[in-house]
Structure 1
Amino acid sequence: MLERFLRPAWTIGLGQMLGMRRCGPQRGHCHGVRLGASHPSAETDPRRDDGPQVRGSAAQLRTKCDDALPVLLPRGTTCSLDTAMATQSPDPFLRMRTLTPSTLLYDPPSPSHDLTILFAWYAASDAHIAKYLSHHLLLFPHTRLLLIKHPATHVLSRPRSQAALAPALSLIAGLPPPASDKDHRLRLHVFSNGGAASLHRLLALLGPAALPPHVAVFDSCPAPFRFRRTHGALATGVPWPLAPVLYILLAIYWLLHVPLRRSSSLDRAAAALNAERVTATELRRTYVYSADDKMVGWKDVEAHADEAAAGGLEVRRERFVGSGHVAHARTDSARYWKVVTETFKKAA
């Protein structure tokens, strides 16, 4: 009863403080995206004039690749035309179409039967998400890529969250069976507790049905509710005059859960991702984390990995040094994307 009474204050306060942190500073819109440049190929679609254009000698293309993708290719590596064209794309969002305000899909011209779902972290800016989208489009150019954002409105409104997840349900249902019992069609790239919460809600919408055979990369997640770390995550970017209000709201939330031994939404999400209905069809899982993460504790991530491994899941742990929350790719991009590629590899 007390929680219901306090919920309006929680939702209004959190929405006012964090609801605007949805767009990157370099973009004047959140959702005004359109289907733009096609998948880079040696031929240009004559029906469009807004695709990436690459001109110049082979030496110039090598220079462009060295400048744009040093994290993926050794210096001096000769880039293919596809790679050079991909580096020219200024905004991967222009290659995606909007399905809902928080859900976007890249559907390549010559798609495979595979699907990658990227579950973004809480209130992630488009500018930051774009860096991961660009790498996915480059490394897996024929794989459909579904982006599910996790803005503040998803925390405050379950219907909006469910609406954003609806396209994922239909795409998953349309996946053909994999070639063998050791192969997969579905790949999950989950960021932070916000992405884990989105995946948790997707599982709830599936009901008793299980995910098809899949593989997953968990970046900086999952972890249970920790007062200081959760406060640090939510307080990032909040104007300092509102910091005490956020602290009070979280203190109330803590009082309603921890002393009463009630599980929080973060606790339930973490538990659900290790449930048998998930791990039974998961071929392998990689955890990417760091002891320098101030928002998600590395011990919590490793405890979750240990629990998954104890249940029989093939688990890989990649502990980075010196990287902050969802910043491991920025610290060591070559290692990060090597890990992602190896996790997502198809069966021979």
Structure 2
Amino acid sequence: MTPIPSNLAAERRAEQLGTDVTIFHPAVHPESPEIDVSHPSLILVFGWMDAPISPLRKYVQAYDTVYPTATVVVVKSHASFFLTGTKAREAALQPLYDVLMSRLYDVKKTPSGGLLIHVLSNGGAFQLMVLHDMLQRPALDTDPNSPLEFPIALIIDSAPGENEYTSMLASFTASMRNPVVRIAAKISLSLAYGIYAIITTMLGMRPVFQDLRAFLAQPGLLPGADKNTPRVYFYSEVDKMVSYKAIESHLAQVAALGFKVRVEKFSGSQHVSHSRKDGDRYWAAVKETWSEAAKGRARAHL
């Protein structure tokens, strides 16, 4: 674990755990009497595709104010996800898996606090889906009948989409300013996607967005989560990356399944920009969602 520079706060220490995983340690010692047990002890921030670390750090900075004693782990995602195999995806998230196993899912320890999951866009949701699959592995030295109890809450910002082709184009070309370069890239990507679609169809594979939407519509996103795990969704009608209709169809599905869901529909804010549009509203919803989780502690079974 190699320390990396951090301009978030003088006291907070950041460590790079892997290519895509950075952990930001709180300034307050975990056993300090200043710890508020009603706050989450661990926050996972799953970034949108190809998000630089700088804007992701702003979410950590916000959590410095909201939950200053929490450990925050930032997970990056990349557009190459669509072209990467399962082993490579899981290898990138192995450090995160290790943190979760040592902090929350070790039955030899009593977990303190709880887990707040903050998903940003489809890229973040894809990484959460990979983590879920990893946590289905049989854990060493654990008793499947031994419960671990801690609260869990889920924040989903600007997701899920439903069309992998349009999402792929948007993800790969979002940063391209030159219109000629963007058009050329879209042509190349369209050809590549056509080949990818033919291969996956021949292999009987489901579209990745279909898998993502099915994943987010299940209660056990991580061990300990269920239908009563509080969720809040942030989105807007003007989002050019993810259609609000795709999100609202998902919301209708999870509501019909009886999930505990809060909806924050913003006006005029673009993709993953809702916290900048109205930070007070955004972070108030985050805090209230966590408070709901803290009131009814979830039970995790490994």
Show the counterpart of 2:141: none
Show the counterpart of 1:34: 4
Q: Which runs of 5+ in 2 are unaligned?
A: 139-143, 297-302
2:5 & 2:41 partners in 1: Cα distance?
Answer: 20
Structure 1 position 228, deviation (Å):
3.1
2:124 & 2:235 partners in 1: Cα distance?
Answer: 14
Q: Which string of whole-angstrom CA distances, capped at 9 and with x for unpartnered residues, describes residues 170-218 of structure 1?
A: 3323326678xxxx71110001111010000001101167996411010
Matched, 1:310 2:248: no
Show the counterpart of 1:83: none
**Structure 1 residues 220, 258: CA separation in 2 closer, same or farther (over 3 Å shift)?**
farther
2:236 & 2:172 partners in 1: Cα distance?
Answer: 19
TM-score in terms of structure 2 length: 0.75
Show the counterpart of 1:196: 125
- SS state at 2:213 partner: helix
**Structure 1 residues 251, 291: CA separation in 2 closer, same or farther (over 3 Å shift)?**
farther
- Let me know the Cα RMSD of the aligned residues: 3.2
The equivalent position to 1:323 in structure 2, one of 269, 284, 289, is: 269
The equivalent position to 1:163 in structure 2, one of 85, 88, 91, is: 91
Greater percentage in strand = 2
2:124 & 2:271 partners in 1: Cα distance?
Answer: 13
> Is the CA contact 1:223–1:297 (under 8 Å) kept in the aligned structure 2?
yes
Matched, 1:118 2:56: no
Percent identity between the two aligned chains: 28
Amino acid at match of 1:204: D
Amino acid at match of 2:286: V
> Is the CA contact 1:214–1:281 (under 8 Å) kept in the aligned structure 2?
no
Q: Which runs of 5+ in 1 are unaligned?
A: 1-30, 41-50, 53-93
Q: Which runs of 4+ in 1 moved over 4 A?
A: 176-179, 208-213, 254-262
- Following superposition of structure 1 onto structure 2, how do residues 94-109 of structure 1 map, counting pairs within 5 Å? 95-108=13-26, 109=28
How many residue pairs get aligned? The number is 262
1:243 & 1:95 partners in 2: Cα distance?
Answer: 41
- SS state at 1:129 partner: helix
- Following superposition of structure 1 onto structure 2, how do residues 327-338 of structure 1 map, counting pairs within 5 Å? 327-338=273-284
Show the counterpart of 1:135: 62
Structure number with higher relative contact order (C-alpha < 8 Å, ≥ 6 residues apart): 2
Structure 1 position 280, deviation (Å):
1.8
1:34 & 1:336 partners in 2: Cα distance?
Answer: 29
Amino acid at match of 1:150: S
2:88 & 2:205 partners in 1: Cα distance?
Answer: 25
TM-score in terms of structure 1 length: 0.66
Amino acid at match of 1:161: R
Amino acid at match of 1:317: V
- SS state at 1:250 partner: helix
